[in-house]
Amino acid sequence: MTEGKRILIIDNDDVLADMLAEQLRTMEGFHCAAVKTGEEGIAMGKSEYFDLVLLDLELPGMDGREVCRDLRTNGLAAPIIMLTSSEKDSDVIRGLNSGATDYVTKPFKLGILLARIRAHIRQFEQSDDAVLCIGPFDFRPGAKMLVTNGGMNADGSEVRLTDKEAQILKFLYLHGDRVVSRDELLGEVWGYNAGVTTHTLETHVYRLRQKMEPDPSHAEILVTEPGGYRLVP
């Protein structure tokens, strides 16, 4: 579920930044914010949540490595892909050592960059640091919390989840809109515990719907399908 992900572009090349933002919006449905300087990027990274950062190495003032270190120091856990015209091994190593997740040299093929972006976002989604969009909520697995979302900022009310409820939601999310069987969910969330039955799972799903659905008796987000459950994008 990469559509709707939030991308921060830090690059002083207006033409490249605008092209990337437009392509990421039209081809992938990403929400993009673009800034020209490292200082602006750091400020944006502190104030808003992003699923991935595209960071130019050659920035005016602070270079990309300094920006990357600062973003990591300030708690940004999302993937950072560093963009640079340098192909020197020493520059690649220094970039990765500063906290970058990946390194792409210019000029690059857009399709290759998009593939790397998708791969890093998918991998990040599996961590507890990610924020996952589920219907009207931003789901924070690490905090076991749903927050009603509002555009680029999640500033609404908070809904606390139990550990099992968070595990159920995360597993369903990572399987896209595929139907997940009850047995598969039981095995993933409870393990192969002979004392746990589908009734236990159904009880947890019922409680989740009480927290998530406007009308829990007519679920529109966590829906029941023949054979199991799925999340509606």
Is residue 100 within 8 Å of residue 82, measured between CB atoms? yes
Is residue 12 domain-shared with residue 40, that is, in the same domain?
yes
pLDDT, tens digit only, all 233 positions of the chain: 566 789 999 999 999 999 999 999 998 899 999 999 999 999 999 999 999 999 999 898 888 999 999 999 999 999 999 998 776 777 677 778 889 999 998 888 999 999 999 999 999 998 988 899 898 999 999 999 999 875 444 456 889 999 999 999 999 999 888 999 999 999 999 987 767 888 999 999 999 999 999 999 999 999 999 989 999 97
Nearest Cα to Cα of residue 213 among 204, 224, 222, 203? 222
Is residue 116 within 8 Å of residue 83, measured between CB atoms? no
Boundaries of domain holding 86: 6-125
The Cα–Cα gap between 99 and 82 comes to: 10
CATH number at 200 reads 1.10.10.10
Contacts of 85 (CB under 8 A, 6+ apart): 58, 105, 106
Nearest Cα to Cα of residue 126 among 81, 171, 179, 168? 171
- What SS3 state is found at 227? coil
Is residue 17 domain-shared with residue 105, that is, in the same domain?
yes
Q: Does the residue 203 lie in any domain? A: yes
Is residue 116 domain-shared with residue 166, that is, in the same domain?
no
Q: Does the residue 137 lie in any domain? A: yes
CATH number at 85 reads 3.40.50.2300
Q: What are the Cα distances from residue 69, in Å, to 15, 72, 75, 220, 222?
A: 26, 5, 10, 42, 39
Domain boundary among 68, 92, 125: 125
Q: Does the residue 1 lie in any domain? A: no
Instruction: Please name the residue that has the structure tokens 């992900």.
Output: 5
Is residue 97 domain-shared with residue 149, that is, in the same domain?
no
Domain boundary among 60, 95, 125: 125
Is residue 121 domain-shared with residue 11, that is, in the same domain?
yes
Is residue 12 domain-shared with residue 97, that is, in the same domain?
yes
Is residue 121 domain-shared with residue 136, that is, in the same domain?
no
- pTM of whole model > 0.85? no
Is residue 106 domain-shared with residue 187, that is, in the same domain?
no
Is residue 45 within 8 Å of residue 76, measured between CB atoms? yes
